[in-house]
């Protein structure tokens, strides 16, 4: 599955992408904001990630700039995580990372909008997300995407930190997100 937005091309991750993934994510400032990536992030981690099988209902994308194909980061949907509260059962989780040179340029928000549109097309009804409390920029991205804070703050294990850290939880009903999209268009 491919998706083109104004500035980005989201495309499947192929095994040969491991070097581009490694060059963008092998930065402690990036990894510490992720739950599942280890630190230090090794070439073998990038190879394993790039070799994961594709799931048509839970797509993962390499985020590239449309103008020059430079890798900006990765984004995708994942099955419900054990850290997601039980009343969100059946929700999918939005996860993403952006390489440090591209922080603050709106790429996470733009890629997120594309993935949410795809989630709606795939029939997902609810998307959840979270951010570590010391990463408020990710919370701002979720809010721009129409996610609403649930009021829950839970400790979530971070492989990159090697310990649990507090997160703020967010949720997005895809029926509600249509209203957000319509309001933005008006």
Mean pLDDT along residues 89-95: 87
Across the range 135-150, mean pLDDT stands at 97
Looking at residue 175, its pLDDT comes to 77
- ∠ CA(171), CA(39), CA(147), 5° rounding? 10
CA 99: distance to chain centroid?
Answer: 12
Average pLDDT over residues 109-117: 98
Architecture of the domain spanning 3-185: 3-Layer(aba) Sandwich (3.40)
Q: Which of 125, 104, 103, 95 is nearest to 13 (CA)?
A: 95
Residue 66 pLDDT more than 70? yes
Mean pLDDT of the chain: 91
Q: Where are the domains of the chain?
A: 3-185
pLDDT attached to residue 86: 45
Whether 88 has a pLDDT exceeding 70, the answer reads no
Listed residue (132, 122, 183) closest to 157, CA to CA? 132
pLDDT above 50 (res 6) = yes
Range 65-78 average pLDDT:
97
Q: How confident is the model at residue 90 (pLDDT cuts 50, 70, 90)?
A: confident
Pairing of strands 92-98, 126-132: parallel
pLDDT at 182: 44
**Which one has a higher pLDDT value, 129 or 180?**
129
Cα 70 to Cα 64: distance, rounded to the nearest angstrom:
5
């Amino acid at each position: 599955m491919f998706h083109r937005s104004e500035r980005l091309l989201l495309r499947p991750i192929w095994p040969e992408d491991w070097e581009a993934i490694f060059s963008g994510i092998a930065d402690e400032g990036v990894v510490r904001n992720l739950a599942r990536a280890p630190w230090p992030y090794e070439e073998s981690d990038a190879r394993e990630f790039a070799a994961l099988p594709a799931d048509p209902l839970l797509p993962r994308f390499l985020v590239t700039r449309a103008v020059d194909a430079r890798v900006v980061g990765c984004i995708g949907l994942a099955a419900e995580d054990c850290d997601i509260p039980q009343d969100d059962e059946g929700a999918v989780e939005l996860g993403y990372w952006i390489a440090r040179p591209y922080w603050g340029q709106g790429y996470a928000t733009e890629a997120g909008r594309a993935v949410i549109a795809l989630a709606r097309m795939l029939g997902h009804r609810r998307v959840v997300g979270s951010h570590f409390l010391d990463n408020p920029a990710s919370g701002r991205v979720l809010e721009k995407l129409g996610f609403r804070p649930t009021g829950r703050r839970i400790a979530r294990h971070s492989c990159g930190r090697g310990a649990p850290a507090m997160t703020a939880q967010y949720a997005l009903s895809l029926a509600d997100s249509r209203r957000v999209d319509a309001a933005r268009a008006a």
